[in-house]
Amino acid sequence: MIYLDNAATTKPNHSVLETYIKANEAVYFNPNSPHKAGLQGEQLLQRAKNQITELFDITSEFDLIFTSGATESNNLAIKGIAYKKKDVADEIITSVLEHPSVLEVVRALEDEGFTVKYVNVTEDGQIDTDHLQSLMTDRVGLVTCMHVNNIMGQVQPVEKVSEIVQQYPKAHLHVDAVQAIGKVPLYFDHVDSLSLSGHKFHGLKGQGLLFVRNLHQLTPIIHGGGQEYGLRSGTVNLPMNVAVVKALKHAVQDTETTNEKLAYFNQSLREFIQQYPGVYINSPKEAAPHILNISFPGVKGEVLVNAFSKYDIMISTTSACASKKATLNEVLLAMNVDKTRVEGSIRISMSSETSEEDIEAFKAQFENVYEEVKELLQK
C-alpha cells in the first residue's frame, strides 16, 4: 500500500510505541497520587513538559497542557478564552480556512451571543491581513489563525497576524499548528496559545498539546479533579505524554531535512501532473510541501479516491473529517476555485517517512486512473 494521506494521520513511530509500552509497564502511576510513585509520575510529567518546551526554546514563556487531541486543545483555547473575556471583549476573529475544530467552536460561540467576524481569504489561500487590521477593535478578545492549512497546505502569515494582534492588549492570538509541525518552523513570538496533535507527526492518536503563554487567560471547559493547572481535569495519560517527546524530537530536529525532501517530491509531482491535460494544481507554489491539492474537473473527488484506492494508493478528497460530508469544500470556495474544480479535488499528503518509491508508485498508478477518467474531464 502507498500511503499518501498523512494530513489525515501518520503512522506512529516505532520508538514512540516502544516508549509508550515501557512507560505503561514501569510508570503507570497517577501523577496526582500523594505517594512516592505518584510523586515520581509527577516529576516525569514535568520533565516531559520541559523537554518539549525546550525543543522550541519557550520554557520560560509557555506552559503546556496535555489534552486528548488538537480538537480538544482548540476547544479549550477558544472557549476558555472567550468565556474568560466575555464581559470585556466579546468579539472573535477567524477565517473559513480554519479546521472544523476551530470553525465549529467559533460558530457555537456565535450562537451563544459572541460576535464573530470572518477575515477575507486571498486567491492564494492566505488570510488577508489588511482586512484583519480593519476588523480589529478594542472589543476583540480572540483571533484564531492556523499555521498551515490542512486542505491546500498554504502557510499563513502568522508573524504579520501577531504584529497586528499585539497592538490590541485585550486580544489573544490562538494558532492551530497541527499541520505545520515537522514541516515548517513553528512561530511562537507574540502567540498566546498554540495547539498540536500527536498523530500528525508520527505520535499516537488521542494525544493533544496546548501551549499557553498565560494560564490566567483561560477558564476550564472540562471540570473535575483539577489536573493540568485546573484547566483540563481528568487523570493524566503519563505514558503517552512521555512517549510524545520522542515523536516531537524527531519532528522538530528533522524539520529542515523533511521540508527539503518533501519540497523535492512536491516539485516532481507538480511537473508530472502538469503533463496531463484537464488536471489542475490547486495548492499554491509557496504552500507547505507535504500537501498537494489537485483537481480533475468533471470527475468527483470521491470517485478519484476510490479509483486510486483500487490501485492501493491512499489519498483523500478534502480532510478526513469533512470527506464524508456532502458539502463543497469551503477553503477552495473561499479561494474562488471554480465549483467543478472543487468537486473534483483530491489531496495528496506526505510525511517525513514518504519515500521516492512512494512517489514513483503514485505516478505509475496516476496514469491508470487518468486513462479511466480522461473522457469525463472538462478540458
Q: Which residues bind ligand PLP (CB under 6 A)?
A: 69-71, 99, 101, 146, 150, 176, 178-179, 197, 208, 319
Nearest Cα to Cα of residue 51 among 245, 315, 226 = 245
Mention every residue, 6+ apart, whose C-beta is less than 8 A from residue 187: 147, 158, 159, 162, 175
Q: How far is the CB of 69 from ligand PLP (least distance, A)?
A: 3
Nearest Cα to Cα of residue 245 among 10, 34, 38, 46 = 46
Mention every residue, 6+ apart, whose C-beta is less than 8 A from residue 323: 301, 302, 305, 316, 317
Considering beta carbons, is residue 84 or 347 the nearer one to ligand PLP?
A: 347
Considering beta carbons, is residue 41 or 282 the nearer one to ligand PLP?
A: 282
321, 336, 364, 367: the active-site residue: 321
Q: How far is the CB of 146 from ligand PLP (least distance, A)?
A: 6
Considering beta carbons, is residue 155 or 373 the nearer one to ligand PLP?
A: 155
What is the CB neighbour count within 10 angstroms for residue 309?
Answer: 12
Does the active-site annotation cover 145?
Answer: no
Q: How far is the CB of 2 from ligand PLP (least distance, A)?
A: 20
Are 362 and 4 spatial neighbours (Cβ–Cβ below 8 Å)? yes
Concatenating the DSSP letter of every residue in 42-60 gives: HHHHHHHHHHHHHHTT-TT
Q: Exposed, middle or buried by CB within 10 Å (0-12, 13-18, 19+), for 100?
A: middle
Considering beta carbons, is residue 165 or 331 the nearer one to ligand PLP?
A: 331
Q: How far is the CB of 134 from ligand PLP (least distance, A)?
A: 26
The secondary structure element, H or E, covering residue 104 is: helix 100-111
Q: How far is the CB of 322 from ligand PLP (least distance, A)?
A: 9
Considering beta carbons, is residue 184 or 369 the nearer one to ligand PLP?
A: 184
Cα gap 28→22, rounded to integer Å = 9
Three-state DSSP class for 153?
Answer: coil
* Residues with active-site annotation: 321
